[in-house]
Every structure is written in structure tokens, then in C-alpha cells.
Amino acid sequence: MTATSINGIDVVEDQPAQSPLTRPGVHVVFDKIRHLLLADGSEWYGCALCDYTSQNKNSILPHLKAHAPKKAPSSKAGKAITAVRPNRAPSSAPSSRRTPSRRADGGLASLTLGELVTRAQQTDQLREQRDAARAELKEALRQGNGWKSQVTELRAQVEHWKQRASVAERQLARVGRLVGASA
């Protein structure tokens, strides 16, 4: 549980700390690091899992190792960021909606016109998502190369975006096959 007061001074604002990967258009936050504003106006960073706090954001990441599960480091890759939202208006997020799988031989013939239109729109959205994920991946890789203290976190971010890029890629390929579009 994140600290609700520090040295007797109340925490008046508690929100996810912003990741250095944030830039115009994409808001990226740490899910286990909180950015705390105290009643006296001072800013602190806190652990989301316990009441550990510090005014140095860089000391929270090493602290988080104390909470790390003992096994399967690969299983936590990709979970480091839970909240990533574009700053622009929300789209209908096709990735959260499972497209019913169809046999390849049934394919196009069994789609209604409405479904075709939907798929064509999805193609655009997916292409956009793939490009965004690729850009994130590139950025995470770039930062990961020169940033020793946050290597673990960044590696998780790299995995996260790598996964998003490949999921978008697969969806795009599937939708593209059905509507005859090319990426």
C-alpha cells in the first residue's frame, strides 16, 4: 500500500509516475511507481506495493526488486506498463474485440458487406497501432542501450512493445488477407 503520509505530512495527490518514454501523443506510466504530492507542496515518489518513498525517482526501481517474484523472469515481461493511452480521442480499440476466427477456405465469401467495411476500418486502425508499437519499440531500444539504471524496466518495455507490434502485425495480416488489402 502506497504511503498516505510522509514524515507526518499528508499525501494530497497520488498518481502513476510518468515514464521517460512519454512524449507528445503517447502517455506512458510506471504501474509500480507512484508520483506523490504532499500537503506542503513537496513531490515524492512511492512504491505502489508498500509505503517506501523517496524524493529520488531513480531509487524506486531498485527498491521494486524487493517485491519481485522469485521465479520466471520472462513471465513478468510486458507487465511493467499497464497503462498506456494515446492522448487523442479514443478509438473503438479493435484489439480488445476478438474477431471470430474463420477458416481460410470459407474466408471472404462468408463475410457480409458490413463485416467487410468493419474489417477495412480495422485494417487502418491496426496499421496505425502497428506503426505506433514499432515506434515505441524503437524508442525503448534506443533508450535501453544507454541507460543502465533502468535496464530491467526498459527491457520489460521493449518486450511489451515488441509483443504489441507482433500482435498488430498478425491481426493486420489476417484482416488484410480477408479484404485483399496490403500493409
- Which positions from 28 through 47 interact with Zn ion, judged by CB under 5 A? 47
As a whole number of angstroms, the distance between CA 87 and CA 124 comes to: 18
47, 59 Cβ separation under 8 angstroms:
no
Q: Mask of contacts with Zn ion, 72-111, x by CB under 5 A?
A: ----------------------------------------
124: closest CA among 174, 173, 172, 179? 172
Nearer to Zn ion, 46 or 176 (CB): 46
Can you tell me which of 26, 52, 141, 163 binds Zn ion, judged by CB under 5 A?
52
Residue 47 Cβ, how far from Zn ion at the closest point, in Å?
A: 3
Q: At its nearest, how many Å lie between Zn ion and the CB of residue 58? A: 15
156 within 8 A of 73, measured Cβ to Cβ: no
How many chain residues touch Zn ion (CB under 5 A)?
Answer: 4
- Using CB under 5 A as the binding rule, whether residue 49 contacts Zn ion is answered as yes
What is d(CA 38, CA 55) in angstroms, rounded to the nearest whole number?
11
Name the residue nearer to Zn ion (CB basis): 27 or 57.
Answer: 57
Which residue among 26, 50, 135, 151 contacts Zn ion (CB under 5 A)? Answer: 50
How far apart are the C-alpha atoms of 29 and 155, rounded to whole Å? 15
Residue 52 CB neighbour total at 10 angstroms: 17
Tell whether residue 120 is a contact of Zn ion (CB under 5 A). Answer: no
**Closer residue to Zn ion, CB minimum distance, 150 or 163:** 150
Residues at the contact surface with Zn ion, assessed by CB under 5 A: 47, 49-50, 52
